[in-house]
Amino acid sequence: MSTAQTPHRVLILGAGYAGMATAIQLAARTRRRSDVQVTVVNAQERFTERLRLHMAATGQDLAELTIPTLLAGTDARFVRGWVTAVDAQTRTVRVDDSRELPYDTLVYGLGSVADTAAVPGAQEHAYTLDSPGDAAALADRLARLGGGTVVVAGSGLTGVEAAAEIAERHPELAVVLVGRREPGADMNAKARAYLGNALTRLGVQVRGGSAVTRVLPDGVELADGRTVGAEVVVWTGGTRVSPLAAAAGLTVDDRGRVVTDATLRSVSHPDVYAIGDAAAIPQGHGVLHGTCQSGMPTGVHVGVSIARAIRGRRPRPFRFGYYHTPVSLGRRDAVVQFTHPDDSPRRVCLTGRAAVWYKETVSASPWPTYRRMSRMPASGAFWPRGGRFTRLRDAR
């Protein structure tokens, strides 16, 4: 009497942009194979469009996308639950402290959250943009203010987009953007000037070179000893990753990200791949910094790599070069800085309506991209570039 063969169990932790790209790409490549089981684990059923949370934070409606809907038509299954531990020795993942999920190949994509632990008071007194729930709470608070000051702490791109969106949607509020660097510091002179002028037009007060050292119940304290009073503080100053990878004994960098080799496998545990913000990925121009621009390609690459490994072929090296930095400045303005592969600015940039169109095109709902990937033929992977899909010819 024969027994059924145990399928190769691929467990994907995290259903963000990168995790979903892995799941759909891999499921499409192993469709109708009974010897492969793809499972996605995520704390919430709703898919979070993090690129649009600054819009939700001002009361704008986002598409109601769910992970089961995005996985529909694939053979991947979804498990809802909080990941509480990874045991790399027994190859199991604990969910909600009770269930244990075994794996043969693990894809670690738990992402990052705002680092509210970095500055005293941020966790207790500041709002973040980590989830639809966070954004909804901020939107409710802003709608009830009627006047006063909002401090956005962090002058990176997330802070810029949040400050511009709040200023545009709530002209009755004074918006102050505070951070160590000037907004758009990594852009060329033209793009940086355009961004600054747009913030001025929206009424955003910019205080560059002013690090926040403490968040107070009624404002923030700066490194030079000054305080800025505020009814609301929005924290966008830096991110941190889950400590689960380090606790599992995986080799991590000084930020807790899983250190990978050229194929995106953990350097200490080759049965573990790491993607997106959770991974420290070496490239010729340095270690990738976490963005959707690089995160989704890591997910696609890992999906292709696992499919190759299951067929007895070696995964290929991951190569990525940055292409652009699109920044929304409210709903009617934007700036797009085109970049060299190492993320340094090119001379070319888009502004105004052309930039708005471009930003919306590349930041649109991932549903069309995921749907295209789920229907792809077995002969090639597709990746969107410049609004079009490019076949990855080395997919097999």
- The CA-CA-CA angle for residues 298, 302, 304, to 5°, reads 120
pLDDT attached to residue 302: 97
Q: Does some domain include residue 331? A: no
- Global confidence as pTM: 0.90
Of 203, 236, 269, the one marking the end of a domain is 236
pLDDT digits (tens, 9 = 90+) for 5-14: 789 999 999 9
Q: Does some domain include residue 129? A: yes
Based on the fold, state whether residues 52 and 94 are members of the same structural domain: yes
Which residue range is the domain that position 264 belongs to?
8-111+242-320+366-392
Where residue 59 sits, what CATH number does that domain have? 3.50.50.60
pLDDT attached to residue 98: 87
Place of tokens 């085109």: 338
How much of the chain exceeds pLDDT 70, in percent?
A: 91
pLDDT attached to residue 367: 59
pLDDT class for 208, splitting at 50, 70, 90? confident
Q: Where are the alpha helices (DSSP H) in the chain?
A: 17-29, 53-56, 67-71, 122-125, 132-145, 157-169, 189-202, 244-247, 292-310, 352-362, 367-374
Q: Does some domain include residue 60? A: yes
Contact 274, 264 (CB under 8 A): yes
pLDDT digits (tens, 9 = 90+) for 370-394: 666 655 544 334 343 433 333 343 3
d(CA 234, CA 151): 6
Based on the fold, state whether residues 162 and 219 are members of the same structural domain: yes
In angstroms, what CA-CA distances link 373 with 24, 37, 263, 348, 376?
A: 7, 18, 21, 31, 5
Q: CA Rg, the chain, in Å?
A: 22
Calculate mean pLDDT across residues 222-234: 95
Based on the fold, state whether residues 265 and 378 are members of the same structural domain: yes
Based on the fold, state whether residues 105 and 246 are members of the same structural domain: yes
Based on the fold, state whether residues 167 and 104 are members of the same structural domain: no
Short-list 299, 358, 353, CA closest to 323: 358
Of 236, 271, 297, the one marking the end of a domain is 236
How much of the chain exceeds pLDDT 90, in percent?
A: 80
Based on the fold, state whether residues 230 and 127 are members of the same structural domain: yes
Calculate mean pLDDT across residues 112-125: 95
Based on the fold, state whether residues 261 and 386 are members of the same structural domain: yes
Based on the fold, state whether residues 230 and 246 are members of the same structural domain: no
Q: Does some domain include residue 332? A: no
Q: Does some domain include residue 229? A: yes
pLDDT attached to residue 371: 61
Based on the fold, state whether residues 378 and 296 are members of the same structural domain: yes
Q: Does some domain include residue 2? A: no
Calculate mean pLDDT across residues 344-363: 94
Classify the phi-psi angles of 209: left when phi > 0, otherwise alpha if psi is within -120 to 50, otherwise beta.
Answer: left
When divided into structural domains, the chain yields a total of: 2
Of 208, 236, 264, the one marking the end of a domain is 236
Tokens of 14: 């995290």
Pairing of the two strands 8-13 and 105-108: parallel
Calculate mean pLDDT across residues 98-110: 96
